[in-house]
Chain A
Amino acid sequence: MFTKILIANRGEIAVRIIRACREMGIASVAVYSEADRRALHVRLADEAVLIGPAAAGQSYLSIDRILTAARQTGALAIHPGYGFLSENAAFARAVQQAGLVFIGPPPEAIEAMGDKGRGRDRMQASGVPVVPGYQGPDDDQTLVKKAEEIGYPLLVKATAGGGGRGMRVVHAASDLVESIAAARREALHAFGNQRMILERYIPHARHIEFQILADNYGRVLHLCERECSVQRRHQKIIEEAPSPFLDSDLRERMGKAAVAAAQAVGYQNAGTIEFIVDADSREFYFLEMNTRLQVEHPVTELVTGLDIVQWQLRIASGEALLLAQDAIHGRGHAIECRLYAEDPANNFLPAAGPLLQFVEPKGPGVRVDSGFTSGDEITVHYDPLIAKLIVWAEDRPAAIQKMEAALRETILLGVTQNIQFLQDVLADPYFRSGDIYTTWVEDHFGDWQPPKCALPPEVLAAAALIQFQDPAADSQGAPAGSDPYNPWRVSSGFRMGEK
């Protein structure tokens, strides 16, 4: 096992990896930008190296600076987390060339899965079902002809795409050429590549993915599925395991397809095979592979009892997977809610600001993966994810109840966040019955507004009391004693009722 690794990431996932290192007796090296000087991952790591300014391009995305930091600190391996350089084959290769271990798949597997068109080809060749569609020469004329064969509605999709960019749903032949042009513009701007593929559009699609673990000796296992159909702007909000949609037959067939997909590209380490399942026909299709650790990996950890991050480290250091596929079962039900700094009432526009108070929920079956503590700043430079709330209970209804209770207990003040929105989604009868699909949030919550309830008198009275005791109030509850002007030290307030 490695004695020291570097974590080329920030936020909750860097913290998650540092925790795994601590448990395993591995020294951890954090890297950070100027905007993250006092970030939680910097405070928790054994060593921390400043790698550049706030802009990710000059810090968390700088291969040179990260490799220099690894050399300086003597780290033997690099964990990329998710996002940033995690699916960058050039980075994986550069890490290897520097004589270090990349904690992830071989660069060739990243490349094979990184291009949507080529990924489709490889999958088809290995018998993994893909959405009916077309990839090949992509001049407008050919695409128009192929679109007729596939039928409408269909999806125009950039081969280099992701996160919904460079993608258009086309409902009629008359809109096709214009939609191709728009998707090309967007893709060229976002990815520097305007190649397009066509796919049949599935209106009621469920996003169901399988977690994969593969060792360096050809053994590939799946850790069952995650249901990720609750999304906004193609970004997941709530994930759960198991999927309320799958029966054991479909689960088994999809699991086998997922293993075959990973084997087809010589995959190693942890990865995720994403499928689209047509909710009407129950057909499933390969969507793409995420060649890295997934944000929502904790729900799988809670139901399978396996620590995916620790397995990443063990596999990367050469350990063989000795588990039997038959021995891996999901137990009970786990749900994850992503707490985002964003405004659900205003197109989910990202918010930023100081996290004035953050109190995490507690209790049996409640896990919080967070990259921030009270007093930290949510900056405009990075992802708006504040924390992930993950719960485990015996079954789905109990897990929903536990999540609702955990969200009620979560205190997150100072920045606009989505807790109330998450509560409303969890309370929705369609969600409760498991009847959800990937555009369900847009269809049902498109005009969501927070309840504008009247302020209860006790809250107003408490607010007045706070102002009374702290007239110049502009504090974030700094610990009493550290600040001579702290209102709690001033004797003009009330004495505490001790009787």
Chain B
Amino acid sequence: MRYRFQSFEKVYEVDLSRQEDLLRAVVDGREHKLEMVDRQPGQLSLRFDGLPMTFYWAVKSGTIWITRGGCSYRLERPSPPAAGSRREPGEGETVRAPMPAQVRAVQVAAGEAVEKGQTLVLLEAMKMEIRIKSPASGHILRMLVANGQVVEKDQVLVEIGG
């Protein structure tokens, strides 16, 4: 079975196969032998080409967080949505939350004209205030958040059209 992961914009492929109790993983053209040693919730111990190793892991919304030997890795499904603002074909520009936060103030309304650099929304997280500014001049197509609302990282806050 083939698995694809993305990390820092690079896509990796792993082919996993099983014969009886023997597992093989082909990574970057090289074959590795895997033997299960132990598994606990969120924990996986195996022999990788004969070497014992333990991984700690968790999965959330398709992202695998995995740690081994003091290094943590975050593997995504290939091509997740980008953070910040970006243009979608035929659509306005979307402005996203740079971090999980609470909306402190919505400073513009749908239909309003805005200048590039104008503050659209005030976010606050852990005593820090962040001004979300308009990436372009234009009109507010949609205001998708309200005062007091808690938003996730990368959640779309505002859509701006030309």
B90 on interface, CB distance cutoff 8 Å: no
Complexed CA–CA distance, A420 and B98 (Å): 21
Among B8, B14, B23: residue with most chain A CB under 10 A: B14
Distance in angstroms from A128 CB to nearest chain B CB is 30
B144 on the A face (CB < 8 A): no
Cβ < 8 Å to A, chain B residues 98-147: 98-102, 124-128, 130
A495 touches B58 (CB 8 A): no
CA gap between A91 and B99 in the complex, in Å: 33
Interface assignment of B43: CB less than 8 Å from any CB of chain A: yes
Per-position contact with A for B1-43: 1 when CB-CB < 8 Å, else 0? Answer: 1010101101010101010010101011010101111111111
A288 to B7, CA, bound (A): 45
Interface centre among B5, B62, B125 (most CB of A within 10 A): B125
A468→B16 contact, CB < 8 A: yes
Inter-chain contacts of B42 with A (CB < 8 A): 356-357, 374, 413, 476-477
Counting chain A CB atoms within 10 Å of each CB, the highest count among B18, B48, B60 belongs to: B60
Collect the chain A residues with CB atoms within 8 Å of residue B43's CB.
477
Task: Say yes or no for A467: interface residue by CB 8 A criterion.
Answer: yes
**Contact code string B76-112 (vs A, CB < 8 Å = 1, else 0):** 0000000000000000000000111110000000000
Q: Which residue of chain A has the shortest Cβ distance to B49 in the bound complex? A: A458
Q: State in angstroms the CA–CA spacing of A163 and B126 once bound together.
A: 13
Within 8 A of B (CB), among A470-499: 470, 473-480, 486, 488, 494-497
Smallest CB–CB gap between A187 and chain B, Å? Answer: 15
Q: Is A323 located at the chain interface by the 8 A CB criterion?
A: no
- Residues in chain A near residue B48, CB distance under 8 A: 458, 461-462
Contact partners of B67 in chain A: CB under 8 A: 411, 413
Complex: A477 Cα to B67 Cα, angstroms = 14
Contact of B57 among A350, A408, A413 (CB under 8 A): A413
Query: Which residue on chain B has the smallest CB distance to residue A467?
Result: B3
CA distance A464 to B32 in the complex (A): 13
Known: A349-B99, A459-B66, A495-B21. A464 touches B36 (CB 8 A): no
A327 interface residue per 8 A CB criterion: no
User: Does A352 interact with chain B (Cβ within 8 Å)?
Assistant: yes
Taken together as a complex, chains A and B put the C-alpha atoms of A351 and B99 apart, in Å, by 6
Does A90 have its Cβ within 8 Å of any Cβ on chain B? no
Which chain B residue has the least Cβ–Cβ distance from A462? B55
Q: In the complex, are the beta carbons of B25 and A464 less than 8 A apart?
A: yes
With A351-B99, A413-B72 already in contact, the answer to whether A465 and B65 are too (CB < 8 A) is no
Q: Take A349-B128, A414-B60, A464-B3 as given contacts and tell me if A408 and B69 are in contact as well, using a CB distance cutoff of 8 Å.
A: yes
- Pair B68/A462 contact, Cβ less than 8 Å: yes
A391 to B: closest C-beta gap in Å: 15
Bound-state Cα–Cα, A286 to B125, Å: 32
Nearest B residue to A419 via CB reads: B72
Stretch from A64-72, A139-147, A191-199, A377-385 contacting the other chain:
A377-385
Whether B44 and A462, one on each chain, are in contact in the complex, defined by CB atoms closer than 8 angstroms, is yes
B interface, over-half SS? strand
A460 touches B100 (CB 8 A): no
**Could you say which of B3, B30, B99 contacts A457, with CB atoms under 8 Å apart?**
B30
- Distance from B57 Cβ to chain A, minimum over Cβ atoms (Å): 6
Q: Is the CB of B60 within 8 A of A476?
A: yes
In the complex, what distance in Å separates the CA atom of A412 from the CA atom of B74?
12
Task: Judge whether B36 and A384 touch: CB under 8 Å.
Answer: no
A423 closest partner in B (C-beta): B70
Q: By the criterion CB–CB under 8 Å, are A497 and B62 in contact? A: no
Please give, as numbers and ranges, the residues of chain A lying within 8 Å of B40 by CB-CB distance. Answer: 477
Docked-complex contact A457 and B25, CB < 8 angstroms: yes
| A463 pairs with B64, CB closer than 8 A | yes
Query: Contact string, A344-384, partner B, CB cutoff 8 A, digits 1/0?
Result: 00100111111011010000000000000010000011111
Q: Chain B: residues with CB nearer than 8 A to chain A? A: 1, 3, 5, 7-8, 10, 12, 14, 16, 18, 21, 23, 25, 27-28, 30, 32, 34-44, 46-48, 51, 53, 55-62, 64-73, 75, 98-102, 124-128, 130, 150, 153
Taking Cβ atoms with an 8 Å cutoff, the residues of A that contact B are 163, 343, 346, 349-354, 356-357, 359, 374, 380-384, 407-409, 411-414, 419-420, 423, 452-468, 470, 473-480, 486, 488, 494-497
* Known interface pairs A462-B48, A468-B16, A496-B37; 14 further A-B residue pairs with C-beta atoms within 8 A, sorted by A's residue number: A353-B153, A359-B56, A374-B42, A414-B65, A453-B71, A457-B30, A459-B55, A461-B32, A464-B25, A475-B59, A488-B41, A495-B21, A496-B36, A497-B37
| CB<8 Å pairs between A and B, sample of 29 | A350-B125, A350-B128, A351-B99, A351-B100, A352-B99, A411-B56, A419-B72, A455-B73, A457-B27, A458-B68, A460-B27, A460-B75, A461-B34, A462-B46, A462-B48, A462-B57, A463-B5, A463-B14, A463-B66, A464-B14, A465-B16, A466-B64, A468-B1, A470-B59, A473-B64, A475-B58, A477-B41, A495-B36, A497-B47
